[in-house]
Copies of this chain bind each other. A is one copy, B any other.
């Protein structure tokens, strides 16, 4: 921690700050400049509470953290990549993993058609929502357990793994009965009750970045899940909210590269929500492979124009197959890159 003292602080007030820091068990190094006093404090353990306490003192101008507030998810804690294994599938490993499917599960025919097509095109995981977070209470809210059963049926038929969203801690056990990967939506990234429950759910979690969450906050939310017992978390960049309105969100693609520097967890890109427009998805998908994401989650639907949700950003199944084909040379380069960076580290 670095604590900057206000210019007009008295010696007594400075001492009071030092005492407070020592109460928390940290060692002090004071720097007395010509303009102001700055105090450095070091030691082990989490400094959050100490920081908050110091910031509340009138003589303190600012109190900033030097070390990262997360631990288990950091590269400093673990330098080798986390490889999440689900049966024979590995996420964060030597293969780029594609997850695809419709926004919502709508009917048996819809999900079976989708599953067969995306499997054939090379996807390894089927996406599809049974519980849907919708801005409006009047919108379709999902098929709930019936939808989960259809996903399980599609898994049986195709061998695809299933990723599906869970919206409430009350539903975690139910969803875990059917899903291979538990998805946390952007609007629930800081639903801490849900995160804690997922720490004990026994399934890998795909954690989507909140609309206005910083990269650090995303890592802190992952830390919740890991600290509560579940190390298998993958992070998902799906676009953040900015002033730009041509796209549905703004894809912070550099977050993928930044996360690769900060954490050992796999990083997934969602080009569908990041753009909100079907025509932009393939171009962003190429960029996502090139920048080094571990995988991607893409919306594909047999008839996007009849989808009950997110039709505008869904590829149809032919477009999806075309995109998979066009991505091949990029995933080949990805493997070379992954191989050489593994060799180095």
Contact = CB atoms under 8 A, between A and B. Distances in A.
A230 interface: no
Majority DSSP secondary structure for residues of A touching B: mixed
B214 A53 contact: no
A253 B284 contact: yes
A242 B251 CA distance: 12
Interface stretch (A80-88, A89-97, A111-119, A216-224): A216-224
A291 B275 CA distance: 13
Nearest to A59: B305
Which of A29, A244, A314 is packed against the most chain B CB atoms within 10 Å?
Answer: A244
B135 A190 contact: yes
Contacts of A255: 244
B167 A192 contact: yes
A274 interface: yes
A241 interface: yes
Interface in A13-52: 20, 27, 29, 31-36, 38, 40, 42-44, 46, 48-49, 52
A340 to B, nearest CB: 10
Contacts of A76: 7
Counting every copy of the chain, the complex holds 4
A190 B187 contact: yes
A254 B254 contact: no
Interface in A253-292: 253-258, 260-261, 274-275, 278-280, 283-284, 286-292
A251 B333 CA distance: 23
Given A31-B42, A224-B137, A305-B56, A243 B291 contact: no
A215 B4 contact: no
Interface of A: 2, 4, 7, 20, 27, 29, 31-36, 38, 40, 42-44, 46, 48-49, 52-58, 62, 64, 66-67, 69-70, 76, 133-141, 167-171, 187-188, 190-194, 196, 210-212, 214-217, 220, 223-224, 227-228, 240-247, 250-258, 260-261, 274-275, 278-280, 283-284, 286-292, 304-312, 314, 329-330, 333
